[in-house]
C-alpha cells in the first residue's frame, strides 16, 4: 500500500493512456484530415453561387467514392 487514495497526487507511476506512437499516428491522421477538408472548403468558397457549390460538392463526393473503390480494389489484390 502506498497510503494514497485512488486519484490522489502525487502519482508514483503515471500510466500512459495512449502510447506515443499511437498518439503521433493519430495526430498525423487528424492533420491530414484537416488539410483535406480545408482545401475542399476553399474550393467550395470560390464557387460563384449556391448551385455551383452544390454541384462542386457532388463532384467531390463522386471523386472520393471512385478513389475509395480504387484503393479497395488494390487492397483486395494484395490481400
For residue range 4-46, what is the model confidence (pLDDT) as tens digits? Answer: 666 666 666 666 666 778 888 888 999 999 999 999 999 999 9
Task: Let me know if residue 7 belongs to a domain.
Answer: no
More confident: 57 or 20 = 57
Range of the domain at 36: 20-78
Please give the tally of structural domains in the chain: 1
Q: What integer pLDDT is reported at residue 39 of this predicted model?
A: 96
- The C-alpha atoms of residue 28 and residue 34 are separated, in whole angstroms, by 10
Helices (H) and strands (E) in the chain, counts: 2, 0
Q: What integer pLDDT is reported at residue 25 of this predicted model?
A: 87
Task: Let me know if residue 54 belongs to a domain.
Answer: yes
Task: Let me know if residue 68 belongs to a domain.
Answer: yes
Q: How far apart are the first and last CA of the chain?
A: 51
Q: What integer pLDDT is reported at residue 74 of this predicted model?
A: 96
Amino acid at each position: 500500500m502506498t497510503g494514497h487514495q485512488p486519484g490522489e497526487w502525487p502519482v508514483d507511476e503515471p500510466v500512459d493512456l495512449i502510447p506515443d506512437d499511437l498518439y503521433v499516428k493519430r495526430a498525423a491522421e487528424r492533420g491530414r484530415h484537416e488539410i483535406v477538408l480545408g482545401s475542399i472548403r476553399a474550393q467550395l468558397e470560390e464557387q460563384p453561387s449556391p448551385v455551383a457549390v452544390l454541384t462542386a460538392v457532388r463532384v467531390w463526393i463522386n471523386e472520393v467514392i471512385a478513389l475509395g473503390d480504387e484503393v479497395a480494389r488494390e487492397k483486395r489484390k494484395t490481400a
